[in-house]
A and B are shown apart, each in its own frame.
Chain A
Amino acid sequence: MRYLFLSLLMVLSLPLGSLAGYREEFEREFLSKPWAGEQVEEDACISCHVAEKMDPKFKNIPQSWKMSIHYQHNISCHHCHGGDPKDAEMSMSRARGFVGTPKYAEVPEFCGKCHVGILKNYLESGHGKALKSTGKGPNCVTCHGSHKDEQYIKKANIDIINERLCSKCHSYERAKIMKQALFLTEKKMGTLEESFKRLKAEGVYIEEEEKALFNIQAEFRTIFHTVDVSLVKERTDEFAKKLEPIEIKVKNTFHELWFRRNFSAFLMLLFAGMGLVVFVLSKPPRE
Chain B
Amino acid sequence: MGVGKKIRDWFEVRIGLDDFARVQFNEFRVPRNSNVFHTLGLVTVVAYLIQVITGILLLVYYTPHPDFAFKSVQEIMNTVSFGWLFRQMHVVGSSLMVIVVFLHMVSVFFMGGYKKPREMTWVMGGLMFLITLLFCLSGYLLPWTQLSYWATTVVTSFPTAFPLVGDFVSRVLRGGEYVTGITLGRFFALHVSILPPLFLFLMALHIFFVKRTGLSTPPFGLSSEQQSPWTEYRRETHPDGHPFYPYFVKKEIFMGMLYLTVMFFFVTFFPTLFLPEETNTPADPFRTPSQIRPEWYFLAPYQMLKLIPNKFIGITLQIILVAVFLLWPFLDTKKEPNILKRPILKTVFFLSLILLAVLTFWGHYR
Q: Do A and B bind each other?
A: yes
A residues apposed to B, CB below 8 Å? 1-2, 5-6, 9, 13, 16-17, 19-20, 22-23, 27, 30-31, 34-39, 74, 200-205, 260-261, 263-265, 267-268, 271-272, 274-275, 278-279, 281-282
Interface size on B, residues (CB 8 A): 54
Question: Chain A nearest CB: distance from B204 CB in Å?
Answer: 27
Q: Across the interface, which residues of B come within 8 angstroms of A203, CB to CB? A: 77, 271-272, 275, 279-280
B26 to chain A, nearest CB (A): 17
Contact, CB under 8 Å: B153 / A275: no
Known A2-B330, A31-B311, A205-B77: A36·B264 in contact at CB below 8 Å: no
Cross-chain pairs A/B with CB under 8 angstroms, 24 sampled: A2-B331, A2-B332, A2-B333, A5-B327, A19-B163, A27-B311, A34-B288, A35-B157, A36-B150, A36-B153, A36-B157, A36-B292, A37-B153, A37-B177, A37-B178, A201-B277, A204-B77, A260-B85, A265-B268, A268-B265, A268-B267, A278-B254, A282-B246, A282-B250
Q: A265 — which chain B residues lie within 8 A by C-beta?
A: 264, 268
In the complex, given contacts A201-B272, A275-B257, what are 11 additional A-B residue pairs having Cβ atoms less than 8 angstroms apart?
Answer: A16-B162, A23-B312, A36-B150, A36-B154, A203-B77, A203-B271, A203-B275, A261-B268, A264-B267, A268-B261, A282-B247
A201 to B260, CA, bound (A): 25
4 shortest A-B CB distances, which residue pairs?
A: A275-B257, A268-B264, A282-B250, A2-B331
Interface SS of A by simple majority: helix
Q: Are A202 and B271 in contact (CB under 8 A)?
A: yes
A15 to B264, CA, bound (A): 51
Give complex CA distance A264, B163 in Å. 50
Query: Binary interface profile of B, 246-281, with partner A (CB < 8 Å = 1, else 0)?
Result: 110011011001101100110110011001010110
Residue of B nearest to A263 (CB): B85
User: What's the minimum C-beta distance from B307 to chain A, rounded to whole angstroms?
Assistant: 13
Cβ-defined partner of A205 (8 Å) among B78, B246, B247, B310: B78
Indicate if the CB atoms of A20 and B247 lie closer than 8 Å. Answer: no
Q: Mark each residue of chain B from 64 to 78: 1 if its CB lies under 8 Å from any CB of chain A, else 0.
A: 000000000010011
B284 nearest CB neighbor, chain A only: A74
Asked if B316 is an interface residue, CB under 8 A from chain A, the answer is yes
A159 to B275, CA, bound (A): 36
Any chain A CB within 8 A of the CB of B233? no
**B261 contacts which chain A residues (CB < 8 A)?**
268, 271-272, 275
CA distance A202 to B270 in the complex (A): 10
Given contacts A5-B330, A5-B331, A264-B85, contact A205 B280 (CB under 8 A): yes
Q: Which of A30, A37, A200, A279 contacts B280 (CB 8 A)?
A: A200
Smallest CB gap from B250: residue in A: A282
A204 nearest in chain B by CB position: B78
B323 within 8 A of A: yes
Binding site for A on B (CB under 8 A): 74, 77-78, 84-85, 88, 150, 153-154, 157, 160, 162-164, 177-178, 246-247, 250-251, 253-254, 257-258, 260-261, 264-265, 267-268, 271-272, 275, 277, 279-280, 285-288, 292, 309-313, 316, 320, 323, 327, 330-333
Q: Which residues of B contact A205 (CB under 8 A)?
A: 74, 77-78, 280
B2 smallest CB distance to A (angstroms): 23
Asked whether, in the complex, the Cβ of B275 is within 8 Å of the Cβ of A267, the reply is no
A13 contacts B320, CB within 8 Å? yes
B254 touches A279 (CB 8 A): yes
A17 to B108, alpha carbons, bound, how many Å? 34
Assembled-state Cα–Cα distance A1/B292 (Å): 43
Cα–Cα, bound, A20→B251 (Å) = 52
Q: Is the CB of B320 within 8 A of A9?
A: yes
Whether the pair A20, B312 counts as a contact (CB closer than 8 A) is yes
- Closest chain-A Cβ to B333's Cβ sits at a distance in Å of 7
Residue of B nearest to A6 (CB): B331
User: Is there contact, CB below 8 Å, between A260 and B163?
Assistant: no
Residue numbers in B under 8 Å from A204 (CB-CB) = 77-78, 280
CA of A1 to CA of B116 in the docked complex: distance in angstroms?
15
User: Whole-angstrom distance between the alpha carbons of A203 and B276 in the complex?
Assistant: 8
Whole-angstrom CA separation of A22 from B162 in the bound complex: 12
Determine the distance from Cα of A38 to Cα of B200 in the docked complex, in whole angstroms. Answer: 38
* Cross-chain contact of A20 among B157, B271, B313 (Cβ < 8 A): B313
Taking a contact as CB atoms under 8 Å apart, the answer to whether B272 and A271 are in contact is no
Closest to A39 in B: B286
A46 to nearest B CB, angstroms?
17
Q: Is the CB of A202 within 8 A of B272?
A: yes
A23-B330 in contact (CB<8A): no
Does the CB pair B268–A1 fall under 8 Å?
no
The answer to whether A271 and B271 touch across the interface, beta carbons within 8 angstroms, is no
* Chain A residues with CB under 8 A of B84: 260
Please name all residues of chain A whose beta carbon is closer than 8 Å to the beta carbon of B280 when the two chains form the complex.
200, 203-205
A268 CA / B267 CA spacing, docked (Å): 9
Chain B residues within 8 Å of A279, by CB: 254
The residue of chain A having its C-beta at the shortest distance from the C-beta of B320 within the complex is: A9
**A271 contact from B260, B287, B323, Cβ within 8 A:** B260
Asked if A27 contacts B312 (CB within 8 A), the reply is: yes
Residues of chain A with a CB closer than 8 A to B292's CB: 35-36
Q: How far is the CA of A274 from the CA of B320 in the complex (A)?
A: 44
- When the two chains form their complex, are residues A271 and B163 in contact, meaning their CB atoms are under 8 A apart? no
A35-B163 in contact (CB<8A):
no
CA distance A30 to B158 in the complex (A): 12
Q: Which residues of A contact B313 (CB under 8 A)?
A: 17, 20
Nearest neighbor of B302 in chain A, beta-carbon distance: A35
Pick from A201, A202, A205 the residue with the most CB of B within 10 Å. Answer: A205
